[in-house]
Chain A
Amino acid sequence: MSLTKEIILEKITAKFGEAVKVDAESLDYTAVVIDAAKAHDLVKYLRDEEGFNFLTDVCGAHFPENDKNAQFAVIYHMHNWVDRFRIRIKSFLNGENPVINTVTDLYLSANWQERETYDFYGIEFKNHPDLRRILNMDEMESFPLRKEFPLEDQGRTDKDDRYFGRLPQTNNLPNNN
């Protein structure tokens, strides 16, 4: 029996109830938002019960404009090779103290991907065997992919979005134009 979006969503909702919601942002694959405390359980459930044998990807994201409890996100992509079905799991974390359980005990491939996420966003993975920076140097103090570190000089006026009839670009904070 092959999986469909309806079947998998029904099963996840039956199992996790209030903790899980359908992610409306997704334009392609089935996507759910899960409470950070339950993320590990969901990944484990999908691996053990639903045949999602492959953890494709783990990455982070920073949403500085969300409210305080949802400023960071960790996104997992899982893949069921037998039914050729993908699912995206998103977990929002607190902006001050982003902590989530590691999934390294379920998938070895998560090890470096979680280190990369920590390196870029400072998201702490509890029980990770070796949570160090991986791409940047160890002495670095900031977490460079957070939105508070703009890449370019924010004083540039030639790139002001208001000249083109739309609201200022939201993804560079602080926007001091």
Chain B
Amino acid sequence: MSQYTPLTKKIEDRYNEEIRLRENEDGSELSILNLGPSHPATHGIFQNVLLMDGERIVDAEQTLGYIHRAFEKIAENRPFYQITPLTDRMNYCSSPINNMGWWLTVEKLLGIEIPKRVQYMRVIVMELSRIADHIICNSILGVDSGAFTGFLHIFQYREKIYEIFEEICGARLTTNMGRMGGFERDWSDAAWAKLDKFMVDFPLAWEEFDRLLTRNRIFMDRCIGTGAISANRAIEYGFTGPNLRAAGVDYDLRVAEPYSSYEDFEFDIPVGTAGDTYDRYMVRQQEVRESLKIIRQALDKMPKEGGYHADVPDYYLPPKQDVYNNMEALIYHFKIVMGEIPVPKGEVYSAVEGGNGELGFYLISDGSRVPFRLHFRRPCFIYYQGFTEMIKGQYLSDAILIMSSMNVIAGELDA
């Protein structure tokens, strides 16, 4: 372990022993390749310095931080409700999961009870964004391996999901959805109608996409056996989410530590066996079907009563017409906007199953209106460490596929 030398340092003294040995062995010279920072195939701004033997990768090193925006520092100067926009911009493929994860953390700190109906609505939103996340990951994986058709066909359904988000909260990509205790408004009839239509159309389209790609000979040849990682190594590297499950570990926070009433729903946790690119693809493919199952159950079980927010006037903004016409509502509005809410002193850690794995929020509160310290546990940042090991000995073109199958999102990587 202490013998580890980063690749860039090795390159600095090029005639480092390890490289020279390698060069003498077969008479060929190793070359250095910069993949990124802005390369169209990496889907984000991060750099990989690769040491190549012909087309094979001998060693690699990652450079991070190209879009680091110091969210943890900014969060220390923002009242709780102003931190949601920061969480949006972490995994921007599934912003609502981040938003809900943040509200669940705040509600854990403040001890707010959430009505069943709001919890089910949150489950629907989170599963929709998980579907959107997996649509992107799997269809882009197809594009990277040369199969454009599936992507072209399925990507319109991500648009449909965004239309539902737009009906719910007014925004599409960076949603800033929800408030302490619930949603900012009840879902409109249009939102429910769009959701119902989506639930009819999308499952068929997903099976079509599946038929286009999953058993495609070229796709299978490219994916099977590349970038494999064992369950043990995956756990050591801190993998969570679909990438860990592809390696065969059935760890899913929705089951292990149910939040927001996930325990009310029947669903399976798909696991892979080899932990290779194809398994990661297959796990995501199946997870979308499970998410659809959850949404369907949530729609069936959705209570009629319960409103769209918890009854917590200390934390939840009163309706606007009351603010204009009613003294008490005006006071509450002012107090909440100025951050004058009763916040206990203490520490909480709360995690949700994000699109990429365990998305955790560690919050230290000193009783003031801003967090004393807020740490985001970003799954991408932690499992991207395993990338070097996964691409060693692989072809460069496979490394591109491995990276897209890991679904490394630059915003979440750098925060």
Residues on A lying within 8 angstroms of B by beta carbon are: 23, 25-29, 31, 53-57, 59, 61-62, 75, 77, 81, 84, 86, 88, 104-105, 107-109, 111-113, 116, 120, 127, 129-130, 132, 134-137, 144-145, 149, 151-152, 161, 164, 166, 169-172
- Contact A77 B77, CB 8 Å, known A26-B347, A54-B235, A54-B238: no
Q: Is B348 an interface residue (CB 8 A)?
A: yes
On chain A, the residues within 8 Å of B385 by CB distance are: 108-109, 111-112
Give A54 to B72 CA distance when docked, in angstroms.
24
Determine whether the beta carbon of B256 is less than 8 Å from that of A27.
Answer: no
Q: Least Cβ distance of B47 to chain A in Å?
A: 13
Determine whether the beta carbon of A56 is less than 8 Å from that of B377.
Answer: yes
Instruction: Name A145's contact: one of B73, B349, B386 (CB within 8 Å).
Output: B73
On chain B, the residues within 8 Å of A77 by CB distance are: 349, 360, 362, 377
Q: Least Cβ distance of A164 to chain B in Å?
A: 6
Determine whether the beta carbon of B368 is less than 8 Å from that of A171.
Answer: yes
On chain B, the residues within 8 Å of A111 by CB distance are: 385
Give A26 to B365 CA distance when docked, in angstroms.
10
On chain B, the residues within 8 Å of A170 by CB distance are: 366, 368
Q: Is B203 an interface residue (CB 8 A)?
A: no
Q: Report whether over half of chain B's contact residues are helix, strand or loop; otherwise say mixed.
A: mixed
Q: Least Cβ distance of B382 to chain A in Å?
A: 5
Instruction: Name A25's contact: one of B4, B68, B346, B369 (CB within 8 Å).
Output: B346
Give A23 to B266 CA distance when docked, in angstroms.
37
On chain B, the residues within 8 Å of A152 by CB distance are: 77
Residues on B lying within 8 angstroms of A by beta carbon are: 1-6, 64-65, 68, 70, 72-74, 76-77, 108-109, 233, 235-238, 251, 256-257, 338, 340, 344-351, 358, 360, 362, 364, 366, 368-370, 372-373, 375, 377, 381-386, 414-415
Give A93 to B274 CA distance when docked, in angstroms.
42
Instruction: Name A171's contact: one of B70, B233, B349, B372 (CB within 8 Å).
Output: B372
User: Which one of B68, B347, B369 has the greatest number of beta carbons of chain A within 10 Å?
Assistant: B347
Determine whether the beta carbon of B368 is less than 8 Å from that of A169.
Answer: yes
- Contact A144 B338, CB 8 Å, known A86-B349, A129-B2: no
Determine whether the beta carbon of A28 is less than 8 Å from that of B348.
Answer: yes
Determine whether the beta carbon of B238 is less than 8 Å from that of A130.
Answer: no
On chain B, the residues within 8 Å of A134 by CB distance are: 64-65
- Contact A136 B65, CB 8 Å, known A25-B346, A61-B364: yes
Give A152 to B3 CA distance when docked, in angstroms.
42
On chain B, the residues within 8 Å of A26 by CB distance are: 346-348
On chain A, the residues within 8 Å of B384 by CB distance are: 112
On chain A, the residues within 8 Å of B373 by CB distance are: 61-62
Q: Least Cβ distance of A36 to chain B in Å?
A: 18
Determine whether the beta carbon of A56 is less than 8 Å from that of B73.
Answer: no
Q: Least Cβ distance of A79 to chain B in Å?
A: 9
On chain B, the residues within 8 Å of A135 by CB distance are: 64-65, 68, 414-415
Give A47 to B303 CA distance when docked, in angstroms.
43
On chain B, the residues within 8 Å of A136 by CB distance are: 65, 68
Determine whether the beta carbon of B73 is less than 8 Å from that of A112.
Answer: no
Q: Which residue of A lies closest to B414 (CB)?
A: A135
Determine whether the beta carbon of A144 is less than 8 Å from that of B347.
Answer: no
On chain A, the residues within 8 Å of B364 by CB distance are: 25, 61
Q: Least Cβ distance of A131 to chain B in Å?
A: 11
On chain B, the residues within 8 Å of A81 by CB distance are: 251, 256
Determine whether the beta carbon of A109 is less than 8 Å from that of B77.
Answer: no
Q: Least Cβ distance of B406 to chain A in Å?
A: 15
Instruction: Name B382's contact: one of A23, A27, A109, A120 (CB within 8 Å).
Output: A109
6 A-B pairs with the lowest CB-CB distances in the bound complex, closest first? A109-B238, A129-B4, A135-B65, A27-B346, A59-B375, A135-B68
On chain B, the residues within 8 Å of A25 by CB distance are: 345-347, 364
- Contact A112 B382, CB 8 Å, known A81-B256, A105-B1: yes
Q: Which residue of A lies closest to B338 (CB)?
A: A164
Determine whether the beta carbon of A57 is less than 8 Å from that of B4.
Answer: no
Sample of 23 A–B contacts (CB below 8 Å): A26-B346, A27-B347, A27-B348, A28-B349, A55-B238, A56-B238, A56-B358, A61-B364, A62-B373, A88-B349, A107-B238, A108-B386, A109-B385, A112-B385, A120-B72, A132-B6, A135-B68, A144-B73, A151-B73, A161-B368, A169-B369, A169-B370, A171-B366
Give A107 to B338 CA distance when docked, in angstroms.
43
Q: Which residue of B lies closest to A53 (CB)?
A: B235
On chain A, the residues within 8 Å of B346 by CB distance are: 25-27
Determine whether the beta carbon of B256 is less than 8 Å from that of A84.
Answer: yes
On chain A, the residues within 8 Å of B68 by CB distance are: 135-136
In the complex, besides A62-B373, A116-B381, A164-B340, 5 extra interface pairs with C-beta distance below 8 angstroms are A25-B347, A26-B348, A135-B415, A136-B65, A151-B76
Q: Least Cβ distance of A37 to chain B in Å?
A: 20
Give A108 to B5 CA distance when docked, in angstroms.
15
Q: Which residue of A lies closest to B5 (CB)?
A: A130
Q: Least Cβ distance of A104 to chain B in Å?
A: 7
User: Which one of B351, B375, B384 has the greatest number of beta carbons of chain A within 10 Å?
Assistant: B375
Give A112 to B375 CA distance when docked, in angstroms.
15
Q: Which residue of B lies closest to A117 (CB)?
A: B375
Determine whether the beta carbon of B236 is less than 8 Å from that of A107.
Answer: yes
Determine whether the beta carbon of A84 is less than 8 Å from that of B377.
Answer: no
Q: Least Cβ distance of A105 to chain B in Å?
A: 5
On chain B, the residues within 8 Å of A88 by CB distance are: 347, 349
Determine whether the beta carbon of B65 is less than 8 Å from that of A75.
Answer: no
Determine whether the beta carbon of A109 is less than 8 Å from that of B237.
Answer: yes
